[in-house]
Structure 1
């Protein structure tokens, strides 16, 4: 009789096979703890197996909740997904994009005992796609790229999304640097005109005589050197025209603009005939439009024509709960651009950011993060010394900032008066983090919230100080 032969060290053979295949394989048990993590998945996510195996995936990958993790959805709800794209972050803050097959693993009785993810890496392809998009002059932003979780910004996003359903004119009001053009581009990309041209013109950038010919076009011989040239209205036909800082136009040009919007016709400079145009107008002003009207910078009739839909983008000082996610976003952006691995800003800098009034709004925050990352030489966090002089002069006390209470310093620290300030601060940081982790029973998400830092920032410090439960 044929006797079934068993292969020796079968587990070892299985692991060799898993590491030989050219797709990532990640398996978790019924608690979400990683039990299988092959070589390809390690390469895709740039993480060592030792950092992943026997750890819960919610502790080593960045998701805002379990619902964002396909593995957890398969585990909790039995969801099965095929060829689904997913973008997420590892604990280093690196963005990962994969095409996944994710499905639950069941026992013979049908109970879910785990989940598996089979992944193909498309991170580089996604980066190339985004780089190509950055090179395009047309609208490239959509609502899901507007960073913020505060009620103030979410309400504005909701109102702007409603404006995508019609072709009515929209007036977007907000201080310089709040992101008015992001909303304009998002409205265009969310509308039925998204496949048509999106053209933007800063009305304050050029003199009226030039702006008029740019907007309405010219015919040959209209003035010395004039050629046959369509204006922005004609170029945007069927699409959207954004007029930035419209209150900087002269009153006569505003009157001509009003006529073009009302009659849906334009006349080129030097021409004798009107040309029909189908253009949706979006306009921005960087101050309260009623103030512009009182100063005679904005015609009242043009204001009422443009403000069929009015959107007011709040300044950063009124949405400071968005600071942390904005900072994380800009750090990620410039890590990629500068080939750095800066993990976060220090707790002291984040507290300073919350105290600062941000006159330049989100644009100022981005430039401050970019400037700080130009000064960093190693993979270190952004601290007080990396901030611009005008901010440091305004907040001199933060130069000696320490977020750990004195009584939390270990006795050993008191016996080493010759330690450097850096080592002293790091020891204080380690002790305080460990104290908060104990208070939170080593719940990393809760501890990060108590410390006032991002989960990514706390994960970095746990690894840096070798803190383990």
Structure 2
């Protein structure tokens, strides 16, 4: 007996009692189950439907408009998909249905199920899908990653995003959500490094009354994001013990609120990000290897701004357009000298740092319609690169990437020495998260200092 037939036999008695229409198809799109509620709504005999293809039963339906067929081909999930549906008496029904693929023991799709309900009126546009964020850049490597996130976005797969601080990891995550079948549902974001370790578990999974002194029944992010997407940034800052509980959610879709003995189901698409190379994080004991392999289905690497210098002028002009009206309405463009100054920086804070420099420059500029003077952040490593005297700058030849690495190594070494090799103080002075400094030092061969 095929798995889909076994599944139908196991669930038929229960599904037949529902007043909601329920249908199931096999992997080829032929109906294998059609409950009585569906038959009543359509005015048909279920026996005349079973074994027939979706497009045979509904010849007016296009393949791309069938949620069941899209579940089979795209492995997508649909929640409250609206359709104007004509019932057996000819009346127009406002119909909301949810559909999802069914997976067998091997992990392959064996079919799909759809559950619907009628509502009194067409849903309003208040729950319009999330707008798709625009990611600016012409760099070929960046465009490949944008194409990849668009592909991953249409699936239910978890996604792991790696990028340095300020590269736009949350922007990529929001684009994936906006492209997904969950776009009408909420997307919640959490920076794991911003929450104290003793509060992170309750923030994610919720609490029950009496779990600890003062604890009340409170939903966590997995419950609040039900039907939508949860984005966990800097997951390499999450305690290893808590990562094991996250692994369970990915494995079987269940979690337990703090203090509860009753597991709950999580209907959430998970996107995680880290600002350290995944394998470096594993080697440093900051990321569970098994969690990495669970998350690393859709993988995105966002190249740092210093490696795509052709995008600096494009981004800078975009930020002038974005902020000039509120900060300095007289400015309409950037001078060539300003662009050259921007392109000479190392940008350790990446796109976020560039945007802040443009905002600061607009605020301080008095030159008129053309922004000419760039107000660099004097406490940043970018400014430190520009300020290196010629006799102290590392000599070198070869590709620009190698020269920039030599300069970066020189700056970090100097600041480390000035701070007595204290990483926290060095990270503060350079304007970097401590984890980013550690990974950057490892990449530059400074890990043993």
- TM-score tier (shorter): 0.5 to 0.7
1:230 counterpart residue number: 219
List aligned pairs for 1:117-266, cutoff 5 A: 142-143=132-133, 145-266=134-255
Among 271, 278, 281, the residue aligned to 1:282: 271
Q: Cα deviation per residue 1:280-312 (whole Å; 9 max; x = unaligned)? A: 100000011000000000000000001111000
Q: Which residue in the other structure is 2:319 paired with?
A: 330
The 5-angstrom pairing of residues 59-458 of structure 1 reads: 142-143=132-133, 145-338=134-327, 340-377=329-366, 379-384=368-373, 386-389=375-378, 394-395=385-386
User: Quick one: distance in 2 between partners of 1:397 and 1:294?
Assistant: 34
* RMSD of aligned alpha carbons: 2.3
Distance (whole Å) between structure 1 residues aligned to residue 320 and residue 352 of structure 2: 14
User: Deviation of residue 368 (structure 1)?
Assistant: 0.5
Residues 317-343 of structure 1 deviation map (CA, whole Å, 9 limit, x = unaligned): 111111121011100111122251312
* Structure 2: tracts of 5 or more residues without a match: 1-125, 390-449
The answer as to whether partners of 2:211 and 2:258 remain within 8 angstroms in 1 is yes
Distance 1:139 1:389 in 2: 42
- SS of 2:333's equivalent in the other structure is coil
Deviation at 1:396, TM superposition (A): 6.0
Q: Is the 8 A contact 2:365 2:373 kept in 1?
A: no
Change (3 A) 1:247 1:387: closer
CA contact (8 A) 1:215 1:231 kept: yes
Structure 1 residues 133-170: Cα deviation after superposition (integer angstroms, max 9, x where no partner): xxx9x996624x11111212111100111001210100
Structure 1 counterpart of 2:424? none
Listed as ranges, the gaps of 5+ residues in structure 1 are 1-135, 399-469
**Superimposed CA distance per residue, residues 236-291 of structure 1 (whole angstroms, 9 cap, x where no aligned partner):** 11110000100111111000110122111111111110111111100000011000
Q: How far, CA to CA, are the matches of 2:246 and 2:264 in structure 1?
A: 14
Structure 1 pair 139/255, CA: closer, same or farther in 2 (3 Å)? farther
Alpha-carbon distance in structure 1 between the residues aligned to 2:236 and 2:374: 40
TM-score (norm 2): 0.55
| Separation in structure 2 between the aligned mates of residue 315 and residue 148 of structure 1, nearest angstrom | 12
Contact 1:199 1:236 survives alignment (8 Å):
yes
Bigger shift: 192-201 or 146-155? Answer: 146-155
| 3-state secondary structure, aligned to 1:148 | coil
Q: Kindly tell me the number of residue pairs found equivalent between the two proteins.
A: 261
Note if contact 1:340-1:379 (Cα within 8 Å) is conserved in structure 2. Answer: no
Asked whether the equivalents of residues 130 and 183 of structure 2 are also in contact (C-alpha less than 8 Å), the reply is no
Distance, in Å, in 2 between the alignment partners of 1:222 and 1:392 is 50
Which protein is bigger by CA-based radius of gyration? 1
The CA distance in 2 between the partners of 1:276 and 1:318, in whole Å, is 42
When normalised by structure 1's length, the TM-score is 0.53
Deviates more, 1:371-380 or 1:270-279: 371-380
Q: d(CA) in 2 for partners of 1:378 and 1:140?
A: 39
